[in-house]
């Protein structure tokens, strides 16, 4: 190295200590400046420690936070720990230590690693979801949900992970496997606490219009909520007093119904079947039960079912139609029963073919060719449909719904795929659900004054796997009295899922020590919503859906005022290992940030993480690539030779200053950090070529670089004689007029092909430009004998001659 002054170890340490002593990043909401709330998805502190993927998002947000600070904002930028949950509990069981101790150790390690990057966190606001002073308020929110009828108990067939020995929410099941451990999910019938997220379905869809989130994330949430519009229609069951209610999105196909299907779990079947048919049903149910969800979906191609021997009457045709039971109809959606139209639904078509059920087309394709080997599910003309014949099928939809409503056969209806949130976990390391089961009063919430309901103080516990929480085996904790009537009562022994604590932490940060509520109203109203939120795309249908649900509930009970928690969301892409695979412990390809920090220091790793590629895209870790940004920072350091400074800037340099400020300012706002760094590299390469370095250009460079590489920037700033932090200085301004070049290179095309270039003044008149172009030897050659048909002149950009 050509210098000996740049020692990142001392510089990093010096500035991190200084920032901490000066409380540079602590905010109180009383500065009088406009606020800006920058938030990272807080990490789950695992035993494995930080990997290089974590700091990508943190660095981006830190750049934004420092940029906003320099632009005159009071910036709230907090960090904390999402520390309850299975991995820690499993780790603790394995190591035979208490999860509380394991959690404390993991947090210690995470905090140490994160601090090495020199992020601008206000550490005085740190939160920890496992702290009783925190989970007191998580429990409080649960009590409020309970009091408002949004938390309820239900005996239900739920997703059960045999390896984690707990029930899971639908959102935690991926491809029929446990999101955490990959074990195949089983079904288990358990009494569960559920949260009524479904009553917020409509608002969860509509309010996506209020936020600046990536479109794909919005779409994913919309699809997950899965709204569909159709009708509920009653079909009378022959020889009974009963009606069978079905949901359909295709009322236009009602005349084509040739059979009905009920889900095997449908309770109606128990009411109406007896004898031999009942036996057949039970046999079929056993067959279904023995299959996991995964196998059940694998049955896709080959549909199974049994006949019930019962018939319905089609309310529009008065024809008798048979009722079947088949597992391609789910109990959890709509009414658990469908009308089957094989001519216009592929699933019904497959089933009808297999069981020889008739297929009656009621919609004719516009080309008149009715397919016979598959269902026709597009729009066409109505046929075989009585008075509706001849009209377009999508117009018929509305007409038939109206008709059905007039005849009191059914009504218009909206259904969602979203299910209520299964909220109980049969594990130890989570917030205890603050409910007491009283012999007389039933489920009673624990009064607020008695919260937090702490986890029992035990040395060791085991996960039962029976569907009971380990807490159930602690009678001294379980047995209690009813807060309402004083009778004997038992505590709820299930705990909350990991997603509970993370569903409101962004509120706690605004007032982390508040003892009178989840945060004071002033703090909430001052800081919320979060202005920019950063995290991985994998949380779209879990965390981000749950948070929005809780937020809307908190809005309904007057705790928060804004409709959405996160005004702007940006996703970081994953960091892939050098071998092109996902970084994982088992593959041994994980890059530990500690090693990179030891070798290069905080500024280099920060810069590299941002330079790897576009922020929201997956990027591959490349050890060689780090050298490039390392060289860049050394080059910056070398520019600051006090013997080579001059006051004034030449015109060219001055233009580049303005151009660079413009580009970096714009790119930070747009999260285009890689191109911002590239612009600074161009700037530095230019300064490097100058014999004498203009002082004002160097100072501006430092300001631009400071959010990216804060340590080295502060050090050089101080060397320049500045006495207060560079982050207290103003972000440089640019003048668009001064970005303009006086001389420009104009490319000349002939018939759209690049042929020549000419250097002209930026202010050149069109007539003069034409002359200059025609004077070019090459242009003359290419025109030759041909005639100029058209001049296309794009000012400052190019000239194109059309010749014939």
Binders of RNA among residues 268 to 307 (CB under 7 A) are 296-297, 299-300, 303
Which of these ranges, 43-51, 150-158, 629-637, 708-716, lies near RNA under the rule CB under 7 A?
629-637
249-268 positions binding RNA, by CB under 7 A: 249-250, 263
309-338 positions binding RNA, by CB under 7 A: 327-330, 332-334, 336, 338
**d(Cα 163, Cα 465) in Å, to the nearest integer?**
9
CA atoms within 13 A on the CB side of 666: 10
CA-based torsion, 188, 162, 286, 325: positive or negative: positive
**SS3 of residue 337 by DSSP:** strand
Question: Do the beta carbons of residue 762 and residue 742 sit within 8 Å?
Answer: yes
Q: Which residue has the tokens 């939120």?
A: 533
Q: Does 537 bind RNA (CB under 7 A)?
A: yes
Which of these ranges, 428-436, 447-455, 546-554, 791-799, lies near RNA under the rule CB under 7 A?
791-799
Question: Do the beta carbons of residue 183 and residue 169 sit within 8 Å?
Answer: no
**d(Cα 702, Cα 712) in Å, to the nearest integer?**
9
Q: What is the nearest approach in angstroms of RNA to the Cβ of residue 32?
A: 36
Q: By CB under 7 A, how many residues form the interface with RNA?
A: 86
Q: Does 747 bind RNA (CB under 7 A)?
A: yes
Neighbours of 446 (CB within 10 A): 22
Distances (CA, A) of 230 to 233, 250, 496: 10, 7, 36
Selected from 120, 248, 503, 572, the binder of RNA by CB under 7 A is 248
Selected from 132, 322, 517, 628, the binder of RNA by CB under 7 A is 628
188-227 positions binding RNA, by CB under 7 A: 215-216, 219-220, 223-224, 226
Q: What is the nearest approach in angstroms of RNA to the Cβ of residue 798?
A: 5
Question: Do the beta carbons of residue 607 and residue 56 sit within 8 Å?
Answer: no
- Pick 444 or 668: Cβ nearer RNA: 668
163-182 positions binding RNA, by CB under 7 A: 170, 174-175
Which of these ranges, 139-147, 364-372, 714-722, 787-795, lies near RNA under the rule CB under 7 A?
787-795
Distances (CA, A) of 293 to 15, 154, 184, 288, 471: 55, 21, 8, 9, 29
Q: Does 620 bind RNA (CB under 7 A)?
A: yes
Q: Does 672 bind RNA (CB under 7 A)?
A: yes
Q: What is the nearest approach in angstroms of RNA to the Cβ of residue 361?
A: 16
CA-based torsion, 549, 551, 555, 558: positive or negative: positive
Selected from 101, 378, 745, 788, the binder of RNA by CB under 7 A is 745
Q: What is the nearest approach in angstroms of RNA to the Cβ of residue 393?
A: 14
345-364 positions binding RNA, by CB under 7 A: 345, 347
Question: Do the beta carbons of residue 757 and residue 745 sit within 8 Å?
Answer: yes
Which of these ranges, 139-147, 157-165, 704-712, 789-797, lies near RNA under the rule CB under 7 A?
789-797
Q: Does 2 bind RNA (CB under 7 A)?
A: yes
459 contact partners, CB below 8 Å, separation of at least 6: 98
- Pick 347 or 473: Cβ nearer RNA: 347
Q: Does 678 bind RNA (CB under 7 A)?
A: yes
Selected from 308, 415, 463, 503, the binder of RNA by CB under 7 A is 415
CA-based torsion, 515, 521, 527, 529: positive or negative: positive
301 is written with which tokens?
């191609």
Q: What is the nearest approach in angstroms of RNA to the Cβ of residue 418?
A: 8
Q: Does 635 bind RNA (CB under 7 A)?
A: yes
Spell 774-787 as b/e; 16+ CB within 10 A means b: eebeebeebbeeee
The values of phi and psi at residue 524, to 5°, are -60, -50
765-784 positions binding RNA, by CB under 7 A: 778
Selected from 292, 674, 696, 729, the binder of RNA by CB under 7 A is 674
- Pick 24 or 220: Cβ nearer RNA: 220
């Amino acid at each position: 190295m050509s210098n000996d002054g740049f020692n990142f170890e001392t510089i990093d340490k010096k500035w991190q200590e200084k920032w901490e002593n000066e409380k540079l990043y602590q905010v109180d909401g009383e500065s009088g400046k406009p606020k800006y709330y920058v938030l990272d998805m807080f990490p789950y502190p695992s035993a494995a420690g930080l990997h290089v993927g974590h700091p990508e998002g943190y660095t981006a947000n830190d750049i934004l936070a420092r940029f906003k600070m320099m632009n005159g904002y009071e910036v709230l930028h907090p960090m904390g720990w999402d520390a309850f949950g299975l991995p820690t509990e499993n780790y603790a069981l394995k190591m035979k230590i208490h999860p509380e101790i394991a959690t404390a150790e993991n947090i210690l390690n995470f905090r140490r690693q994160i601090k090495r990057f020199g992020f601008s966190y206000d550490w005085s606001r740190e939160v920890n979801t496992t702290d009783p002073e925190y989970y007191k308020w998580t429990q409080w929110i649960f009590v409020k949900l309970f009091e408002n009828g949004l938390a309820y108990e239900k005996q239900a067939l739920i997703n059960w992970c045999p390896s984690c020995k707990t029930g899971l929410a639908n959102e935690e099941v991926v491809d029929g496997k446990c999101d955490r451990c990959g074990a195949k999910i089983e079904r288990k019938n358990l009494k569960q606490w559920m949260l009524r997220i479904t009553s917020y379905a409509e608002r969860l869809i509509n309010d996506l219009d209020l936020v600046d989130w990536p479109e794909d994330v919005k779409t994913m949430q919309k699809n997950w909520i899965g709204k569909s519009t159709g009708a509920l229609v009653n079909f009378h069951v022959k020889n009974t007093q009963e009606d069978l209610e079905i949901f359909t999105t295709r009322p236009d196909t009602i005349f084509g119904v040739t059979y009905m299907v009920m889900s095997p779990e449908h309770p109606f079947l128990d009411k109406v079947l007896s004898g031999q048919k009942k036996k057949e049903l039970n046999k079929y149910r056993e067959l279904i039960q023995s299959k996991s969800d995964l196998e059940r979906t694998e049955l896709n191609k080959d549909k199974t079912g049994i006949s019930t021997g019962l018939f319905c009457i089609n309310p529009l045709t008065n024809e008798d139609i048979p009722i079947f039971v088949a597992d391609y109809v789910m109990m959890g959606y709509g009414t658990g029963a469908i009308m089957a139209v094989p001519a216009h639904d592929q699933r019904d078509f497959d089933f009808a073919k297999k069981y020889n059920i008739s297929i009656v087309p009621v919609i004719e394709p516009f080309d008149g060719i009715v397919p016979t080997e598959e269902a026709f599910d597009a729009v066409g003309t109505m046929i075989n449909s009585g008075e509706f014949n001849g009209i377009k099928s999508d117009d018929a939809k509305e007409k038939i719904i109206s008709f059905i409503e007039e005849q009191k056969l059914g009504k218009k209806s909206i259904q969602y795929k979203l299910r209520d949130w299964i909220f109980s976990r049969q594990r130890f390391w989570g917030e205890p659900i603050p409910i007491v089961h009283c012999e007389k009063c039933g489920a009673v919430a624990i009064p607020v004054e008695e919260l937090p309901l702490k986890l029992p103080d035990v040395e060791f516990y085991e996960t039962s796997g029976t569907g009971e929480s380990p807490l159930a085996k602690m009678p001294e904790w379980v047995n209690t009295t009813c807060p309402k009537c004083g009778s004997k009562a038992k505590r709820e022994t299930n705990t909350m899922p990991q997603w509970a604590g993370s569903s409101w932490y962004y509120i706690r940060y605004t007032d982390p020590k508040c003892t009178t509520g989840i945060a004071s109203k002033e703090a909430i109203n001052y800081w919320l919503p979060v202005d920019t939120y950063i995290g991985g795309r994998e949380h779209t249908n879990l965390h981000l859906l749950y948070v929005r649900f809780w937020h809307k509930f908190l809005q309904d009970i007057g705790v928060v005022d804004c409709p959405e928690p996160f005004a702007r969301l940006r996703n970081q892409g994953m960091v892939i290992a050098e071998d092109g695979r996902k970084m994982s412990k088992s593959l041994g390809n994980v890059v530990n940030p500690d090693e990179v920090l030891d070798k290069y220091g905080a500024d280099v790793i920060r810069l590299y993480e941002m330079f790897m590629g576009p922020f929201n895209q997956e990027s591959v870790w490349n050890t060689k690539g780090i050298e490039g940004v390392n060289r860049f920072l050394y080059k910056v350091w070398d520019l600051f030779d006090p013997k080579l400074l001059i006051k004034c800037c030449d015109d060219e340099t001055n233009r580049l200053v303005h151009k660079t400020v413009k580009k970096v300012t714009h790119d930070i706002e747009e999260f285009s950090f890689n191109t911002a760094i590239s612009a600074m590299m161009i700037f530095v390469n230019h300064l490097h070529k100058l014999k004498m370095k203009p002082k004002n250009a160097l100072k501006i460079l430092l300001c631009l670089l400071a959010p990216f590489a804060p340590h080295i920037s502060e050090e050089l700033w101080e060397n320049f004689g500045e006495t207060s932090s560079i982050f207290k200085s103003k972000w440089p301004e640019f003048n668009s007029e001064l970005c303009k070049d006086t001389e420009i290179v104009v490319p000349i095309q002939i018939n759209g092909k690049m042929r020549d270039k000419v250097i002209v003044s930026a202010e050149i008149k069109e007539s003069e430009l034409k002359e200059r172009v025609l004077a070019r030897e090459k242009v003359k050659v290419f025109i030759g004998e041909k005639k100029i048909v058209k001049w296309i002149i794009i000012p400052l950009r190019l000239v194109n001659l059309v010749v014939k």
